A and B are shown apart, each in its own frame.
Chain A
């Protein structure tokens, strides 16, 4: 019965003495435990926005497999990162493409912004690096996550969609003469200048 008497006084002295013990008690009470954690996060000045909390969860679930590799240039900023996609089949097999992701403030209500940093000859990616992928635009919904976008990008390499092109010339060639398209891609992968655009050697 003495324990019972001791606990409340301990809780009163919580900020100074025996923080661990106090936290233990709060944890037993459930809600309080959570609030205590939140309070300490505030004290260290790391109040996160809803978008940042969500992106943290997305990052914990990241799973690009062997095809995609995710890196954070600034580990303190989770809203900007790079994804390297190395297709293991299809026209672009063997080359590496670097995408930058930036997460808008209203994420996940707004989709992430994706730019392809490596010049590519692709029906759905233009020479400026803009990517045409339905889930990055009209078909985005907040239950999707970064993994879904990365899978979408990988899929573009396996199965380009000439019906919704950004590089119209590439889309036309893909539709009309797929073997010529394949040769053109091969040429760009080896590095070349085409219509005044320089493609770096990637393979």
Chain B
């Protein structure tokens, strides 16, 4: 006995949605200061994205930019040295590095 199927379906798309996902290229999931995810935003912001980005210190530790700026501001106000909140090395911003992911045009 031999069964054979052959069907041709006539499909035309009337509408489509593009869906994209992005995430920050960071090693840790959450910011050590506010304990919120890097892919979300700091507690002062409502929308994740370029306006609430992670930043790196020379020591390679990562925090939300807004969290670390607040930390440095309080350190200055209280006459304390500007240190990494994690390792206490002097805090220096690390230059952004070119994206490692392959970029497609």
Contact = CB atoms under 8 A, between A and B. Distances in A.
Contacts of B83: 141
Given A106-B74, A142-B33, A4 B14 contact: yes
A-side interface size class: 20 to 34
Contacts, number: 51
A34 B36 contact: no
A185 to B, nearest CB: 34
B46 A143 contact: no
Given A31-B48, A54-B43, A142 B71 contact: yes
A141 B85 contact: yes
Interface centre among B32, B35, B42, B74 (most CB of A within 10 A): B35
Interface of A: 1, 4-5, 28-31, 34-35, 38, 48-50, 53-54, 57-58, 106, 108-110, 141-143, 145
Interface centre among A35, A57, A143 (most CB of B within 10 A): A143
- Chain B interface, >50% SS class: loop
B40 interface: yes
Which 9 pairs across A and B sit closest by C-beta, in order of nearness? A50-B43, A143-B32, A57-B35, A142-B33, A142-B85, A109-B74, A141-B85, A53-B43, A143-B85
B21 interface: yes
B32 A142 contact: yes
A50 B44 contact: yes
A103 to B, nearest CB: 14
A54 B15 contact: no
Interface string B14-57: 11000101000000000011111000101110111000000000
Nearest to B66: A50
Contacts of B21: 30
A53 to B, nearest CB: 5
B88 interface: yes
Contacts of B34: 50, 53-54, 108
Nearest to A48: B43
A34 B48 CA distance: 10
B40 A34 contact: yes
A188 B74 CA distance: 41
B74 A141 contact: no
Given A54-B34, A143-B86, A145-B35, 15 more contacts: A5-B15, A28-B19, A29-B19, A31-B48, A48-B43, A50-B43, A57-B35, A57-B36, A106-B74, A141-B83, A141-B86, A141-B88, A142-B32, A142-B33, A142-B67
Contacts of B94: none
